[in-house]
């Protein structure tokens, strides 16, 4: 192809958040074309949040990826994104690893890793990112096995976040019990993981894939979280290990909300984050997924919309979710307070 042809070639379409498909190439349209399986997965997460129960683990990464599709929050479309890999199971310390963990990144993510990242700390937060990298964070939720005699639950969740702003990975562990063991487990996990596009060979380094040795030297183990221990001391009872799933989601949303903050990896150690109760965490996540799903089904009648939303009624034990979700709906202009909002009926159906 000649230089003249390259100069006059039409620009490539603006990227849109993976792993979804979209109906058109309009960069302003971030409503994904959800298939039935994806729609059911997002619905399962919404139902769990509304009931105060644990979300379906395999659906959580997809739902967090959907949080990138934000076009009604007052932000421009140049907000850096985060990508969530499927949940990985971490082998218990001391047990032989039968196979090496496989990290298979979406093709769009591998392509993005090959693009230059414009550092935020050098004033790169503005301007178009069409020709530069869009994904700041690559996130990996892990499930560890724990054995505490007072509970039948065996799963503790942690999260590793690769930050392209600093070219380093931070591992967040919000649970206090057996933490040193999990640190050994996660170190062994990343030492063994096959992650094409993220980790190179032990001897070579490229601009997009650091060598294994370099990658391992860039891991930060963030364990200064004491909230779960304080709760146990206050209640004189055990905090279920599985509660860490909400904490992991809270930490993930904290990063995504602060994607333009160079130091966003300093996550506060507080109850609002451990339970995801802060308005900008699970309540905003709930509202965004709710509206996204409704927008993704434009052919639904009002009766079909009301029937689906009726499955997401917020129960009393998570009244805080309903209260903060209503505030966010009002801020979006979807609930006017006088019955003139675009979707005023939602609050009535949700019982909030």
- Phi-psi domain of 268 (left: phi exceeds 0; alpha: psi -120 through 50; beta: other): beta
* Cβ contact 141:155 at 8 Å: no
pLDDT tier for residue 4 given thresholds of 50, 70 and 90: very low
Question: Tens digits of per-residue pLDDT, 175-186?
Answer: 999 999 999 999
In whole angstroms, give the CA distance from residue 202 to residue 214: 8
Give the pLDDT score at 275: 95
Question: Tens digits of per-residue pLDDT, 103-150?
Answer: 999 999 999 999 999 999 876 554 455 678 999 999 999 999 998 876
Give the pLDDT score at 131: 74
Pairing of strands 81-84, 168-172: unpaired
More confident residue, 8 or 13: 13
Question: Tens digits of per-residue pLDDT, 84-112?
Answer: 999 999 999 878 777 899 999 999 999 99
Question: Tens digits of per-residue pLDDT, 34-46?
Answer: 999 999 999 999 9
* Cβ contact 325:333 at 8 Å: no
Q: Which helix (H) or strand (E) holds 143?
A: strand 135-145
Question: Tens digits of per-residue pLDDT, 232-280?
Answer: 999 998 999 999 999 999 999 999 999 999 999 999 999 999 999 999 9
Residue 78 has pLDDT above 80, yes or no: no
Sign of the Cα pseudo-torsion (51, 321, 352, 306, in order):
negative
**Structure tokens of 285?**
């996540």
Give the pLDDT score at 343: 78
Give the pLDDT score at 28: 79
In this structure, the dihedral spanned by the alpha carbons of residues 142, 148, 153 and 154, taken in order and rounded to 10 degrees, is 30
**303 Cβ neighbours under 8 A, 6+ residues apart:** none
Pairing of strands 219-222, 168-172: parallel
pLDDT tier for residue 205 given thresholds of 50, 70 and 90: very low
Q: Which helix (H) or strand (E) holds 145?
A: strand 135-145
Give the pLDDT score at 56: 95
How large is the average pLDDT for residues 205-221? Answer: 85
Residue 71 has pLDDT above 70, yes or no: no
Question: Tens digits of per-residue pLDDT, 316-327?
Answer: 999 999 999 999
Least confident window among 79-83, 150-154, 320-324, 342-346: 150-154
How large is the average pLDDT for residues 17-21? Answer: 95
In whole angstroms, give the CA distance from residue 193 to residue 61: 19
Task: Report if pTM > 0.85.
Answer: yes
Q: Is 282 helix (H, G, I), strand (E, B) or coil?
A: helix
Whose CA is closest to 177, among 95, 235, 236, 240? 240
Q: What percent of the chain has pLDDT over 90?
A: 73
**Where do the domains of the chain lie?**
67-267
pLDDT tier for residue 158 given thresholds of 50, 70 and 90: very high
In whole angstroms, give the CA distance from residue 258 to residue 265: 9
Give the pLDDT score at 203: 47
Give the pLDDT score at 204: 46
In this structure, the chain runs to a length of 352
Q: Mapped to the 3 state alphabet, what secondary structure does 53-113 carry?
A: CCCCHHHHHHHHHHCCCCCCCCCCCCCCEEEECCCEECCCCCCCCCCCCECCCCHHHHHHH
Whose CA is closest to 92, among 179, 216, 182? 182
């Amino acid at each position: 192809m000649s230089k003249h042809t390259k100069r006059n070639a039409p620009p490539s379409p603006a990227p849109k958040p993976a792993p979804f498909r979209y109906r058109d190439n309009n960069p302003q349209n971030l409503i994904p074309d959800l298939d039935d399986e994806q729609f059911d997965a997002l619905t399962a997460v919404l139902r769990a949040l509304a009931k105060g129960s644990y979300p379906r683990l395999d659906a959580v990464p997809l739902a967090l990826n959907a949080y990138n599709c934000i076009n009604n929050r007052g932000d421009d479309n140049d907000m850096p994104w985060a990508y969530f890999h499927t949940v990985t199971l971490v082998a218990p310390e001391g047990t032989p690893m039968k196979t090496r963990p496989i990290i298979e990144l979406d093709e769009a993510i591998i392509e993005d890793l090959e693009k230059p990242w414009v550092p935020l700390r050098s004033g790169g937060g503005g301007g178009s990112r069409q020709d530069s990298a869009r994904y700041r964070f690559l996130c990996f939720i892990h499930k560890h096995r724990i054995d505490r005699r007072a509970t039948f639950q065996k799963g503790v969740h942690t999260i590793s976040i690769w930050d392209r702003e600093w070219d380093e990975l931070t591992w967040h562990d919000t649970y206090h019990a057996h933490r040193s063991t999990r640190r050994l487990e996660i170190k062994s996990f990343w030492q063994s993981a096959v992650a094409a596009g993220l980790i190179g060979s032990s001897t070579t380094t490229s601009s997009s894939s650091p060598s294994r040795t370099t990658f391992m030297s860039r891991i930060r183990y963030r364990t200064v979280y004491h909230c779960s221990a304080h709760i146990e001391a206050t209640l004189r009872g055990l905090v279920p290990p599985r509660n860490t799933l909400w904490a992991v989601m809270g930490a993930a949303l904290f990063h995504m909300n602060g994607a333009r903050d160079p130091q966003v990896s300093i996550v506060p150690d507080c109850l609002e984050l451990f339970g995801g109760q802060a308005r900008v965490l699970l309540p905003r996540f709930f509202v965004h997924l709710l509206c996204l799903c409704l927008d993704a089904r434009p052919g639904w009648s009002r009766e079909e919309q009301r029937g689906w939303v009726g499955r997401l009624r917020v129960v009393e034990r998570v009244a805080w979710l309903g209260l903060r979700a209503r505030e966010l709906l009002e801020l979006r202009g979807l609930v006017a307070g006088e019955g003139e909002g675009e979707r005023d009926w939602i609050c009535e159906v949700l019982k909030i």
